Amino acid sequence: MPWLDQPPKNPKPDVVANLRLWEELDSWLTPNDKFFSVGHYNKPVIDEKAWKLEVGGLVKHPMNLTLHELKSRSRKDMIFTLECSGNSGRAWMVSAVGNAKWTGTPLVSLLNEAGVLDKGIEVVFIGSDEGEEEVRGIKMKQNFARSMSLADAMNPYNLLCYEMNGEALPQMNGFPVRLISPGWYGIANVKWLKRIEVRETRFMGHFMARDYVTIREEQLDGETEWVELRRLSVSRLACRTRSSSNNASSARWESLPRSSGTPPLMVKPIVTPSCFSMAAHIGTLPRDFQLHRRN
Per-residue pLDDT tens, the chain, 295 aa: give them: 677 778 889 989 888 998 888 888 888 999 999 999 999 899 999 999 999 999 999 999 999 999 999 999 999 999 999 998 888 778 888 888 999 999 999 999 999 999 999 999 999 999 999 998 888 888 989 999 999 999 999 999 999 999 999 999 999 999 999 999 998 989 899 999 999 999 999 988 777 866 666 666 777 888 888 776 654 544 433 333 333 344 433 333 333 333 333 333 333 333 322 222 223 332 333 334 343 333 3
CB 196 within 8 A of CB 146: no
CB 165 within 8 A of CB 77: no
Task: Indicate the domain borders of the chain.
Answer: 16-209, 232-294
| Whole-prediction pTM | 0.74
Quick one: three-class SS letters along 16-42?
EECCCCHHHCCCCCCCHHHCCEECCCC
Angle at 142 (CA atoms; ends 136, 143), nearest 5 degrees: 150
Give me the CATH topology for the region 16-209.
Sulfite Oxidase; Chain A, domain 2 (3.90.420)
